[in-house]
């Protein structure tokens, strides 16, 4: 378990309702309504907590007839705390984790269901957003301006600004024949 | 007009105004009670290490607070002071404002975003409660 995964799990566990859900699932696999009845919470609240637990790797689900059953992810809990704290993490790894977390935070803030909500004003954030969009372009393929616009318009209506910014950030190259994705390190 | 008739009209006007005030105060009292209850429950949940459920309570309190403000605006905006017009203004807002919440809920459902769906459903539940209570207190229900 990496440091980031451990932190996510601990954060997720620091909630009484979620701990109670896990205690119930330690007895047997259950579906949402059963957990709701058992814990005196509403079904949507249980679903909310189960989603968080699933994201942290603490529970898994499977289909059984009409129900989605939830079960405790025992592998996750078989890891001892000592194993977690003894996990080595060098500075470069920590830095790279921080960068990845920052990147994810920016992506979460500016994208909603794959659409760009607004174009970031800050260059560092804009670069991250553009790097996400450029992933829709294939390497080694030449695109016409119209094709570029159509791809970018899937993310945001202001495709002109974004197209120019991608050129300026050297994510896309351009000449008289068209546009292409630049290979960056 | 006879002095007695004037007196009767004056008394009726006063009684009418007083009833209107009583109705308005009852709705404000409902909002205040709900806000206080949500805030109290929020504190209890936080103390019980249920931070996410405390946030749900905060969302509920915020919706009550928004519509308390809207009722104040309705009372100030409707120049005639007519009860029916205030009611119409307020109920119109209870239809308009949740439109964004409904579309946000639908978008979240489309993408299986359970967290967002839950936040939006809390707001929609509260607005249904507000409409129901408002119509009961204001009358014509």
Q: Please give the average per-residue pLDDT across A10-31, as a whole number.
A: 94
Q: Which residues of chain B have a CB within 8 Å of the CB of A51? A: 114-115
pLDDT value of residue A85:
80
| In chain B, % of residues over pLDDT 90 | 70
Preferred mutation among A70, A113, A115, A117 to probe B, highest tally of B CBs within 10 A: A113
Which residue has better confidence, B39 or A78?
B39
Is the pLDDT at A82 greater than 90, yes or no? no
Q: How confident is the model at residue A66 (pLDDT cuts 50, 70, 90)?
A: confident
Rg (alpha carbons) of chain B, rounded to whole number: 20
Segment A65-71 mean pLDDT: 91
Residue of A nearest to B50 (CA): A15
Q: Pick the range with the lowest mean pLDDT from A17-21, A146-150, A176-180, B8-12.
A: B8-12
Question: What mean pLDDT do residues B57-61 have?
Answer: 97
Q: Which of B56, B111, B115 sits opposite A51 (nearest CB)?
A: B115
- The rounded percent of chain B whose pLDDT value lies above 70 is 86
Query: Which of B49, B110, B118 minimises the CB distance to A48?
Result: B118
Q: Are B53 and A51 an interchain contact pair (Cβ–Cβ within 8 Å)?
A: no
Indicate the range of A94-98, A133-137, A156-160, B2-6 predicted with least confidence.
B2-6
Which chain B residues are closer than 8 Å to A45 by Cβ?
A: 53, 56, 118
The answer to whether A111 touches A132, Cβ cutoff 8 Å, is yes
> Is residue A79 pLDDT above 80, yes or no?
yes
Does residue A40 register a pLDDT over 70? Answer: yes
Q: Is the pLDDT assigned to residue B71 strictly greater than 90?
A: yes
Residue A77's pLDDT is what? Answer: 87
Report which of residues B80 and B118 the model is more confident about: B118
3-state SS record for chain A: CCHHHHHHHHHHHCCHHHHHHHHHHHHCCEEHHHHHHHHCCCHHHHHHHHHHHHHCCCEEEEEECCEEEEEECHHHHHCCHHHHHHCCCCHHHHHHHHHHHHHHHHHHHHEECCEECCCCCCHHHHHHHHHHHHCCCCCCCCECHHHHHHHHHCCCCCHHHHHHHHHHCCCEEEECCEEEECCCC
The mean pLDDT of A19-30, rounded to a whole number, is 95
Is residue B141 over pLDDT 50?
no
pLDDT score, position A83 = 83
Taking contacts as CB-CB distances below 8 angstroms, the residues of chain B near A16 are 48-50
The pLDDT-based confidence of B9 (bands split at 50, 70, 90) is low
Cβ contact B131:B94 at 8 Å:
yes
* Per-chain mean pLDDT for chain A: 91
Q: Which of B52, B107, B117 minimises the CB distance to A15?
A: B52
Which pTM value belongs to this model?
0.72
pLDDT tens track for A100-156? 889 999 999 999 988 999 999 999 999 999 999 999 999 999 999 999 999 999 999
Question: Is the pLDDT at B31 greater than 60, yes or no?
Answer: yes
Please report which confidence band the pLDDT of residue B2 belongs to, taking 50, 70 and 90 as the band edges: low
pLDDT at B139 exceeding the cut of 50: yes
Answer yes or no: is pLDDT of A99 > 70. yes
∠ CA A167-A172-A176, rounded to 5°: 80
């Amino acid at each position: 378990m990496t440091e980031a995964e451990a932190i996510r799990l601990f954060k997720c566990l620091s909630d009484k309702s979620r701990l109670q859900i896990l205690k119930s699932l330690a007895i047997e696999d259950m579906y949402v309504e059963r957990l709701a009845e058992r814990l005196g919470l509403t079904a949507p609240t249980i679903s909310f907590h189960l989603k968080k637990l699933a994201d942290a790797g603490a529970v898994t689900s499977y289909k059984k007839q009409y129900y989605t059953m939830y079960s405790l992810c025992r592998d996750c809990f078989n890891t001892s705390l000592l194993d977690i704290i003894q996990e080595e993490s060098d500075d470069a790894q920590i830095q790279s984790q921080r960068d990845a977390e920052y990147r994810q935070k920016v992506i979460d803030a500016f994208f909603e269901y794959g659409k760009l909500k607004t174009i970031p004003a800050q260059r560092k954030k804009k670069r991250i957003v553009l790097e996400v969009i450029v992933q829709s372009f294939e390497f080694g393929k030449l695109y016409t301006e119209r094709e570029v616009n159509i791809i970018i318009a899937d993310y945001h209506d202001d495709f002109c600004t974004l197209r120019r910014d991608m050129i300026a950030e050297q994510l896309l190259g351009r000449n008289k024949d068209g546009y292409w994705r630049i290979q960056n390190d | 007009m006879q002095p007695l008739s004037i007196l009767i009209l004056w008394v009726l006007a006063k009684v009418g105004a007083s009833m209107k005030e009583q109705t308005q105060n009852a709705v404000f009292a409902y909002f205040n009670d709900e806000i206080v209850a949500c805030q109290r429950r929020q504190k209890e949940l936080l103390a019980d290490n249920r931070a996410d459920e405390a946030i749900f309570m905060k969302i509920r309190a915020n919706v009550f607070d928004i519509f308390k403000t809207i009722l104040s605006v309705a009372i100030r905006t409707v120049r005639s002071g007519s009860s029916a017009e205030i009611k119409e203004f307020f109920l119109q807002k209870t239809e308009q404002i949740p439109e964004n919440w409904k579309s946000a809920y639908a978008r979240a459902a489309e993408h299986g975003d359970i967290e967002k769906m839950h936040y939006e459903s809390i707001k929609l539940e509260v607005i249904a409660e507000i409409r129901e209570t408002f119509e009961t207190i204001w009358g014509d229900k």
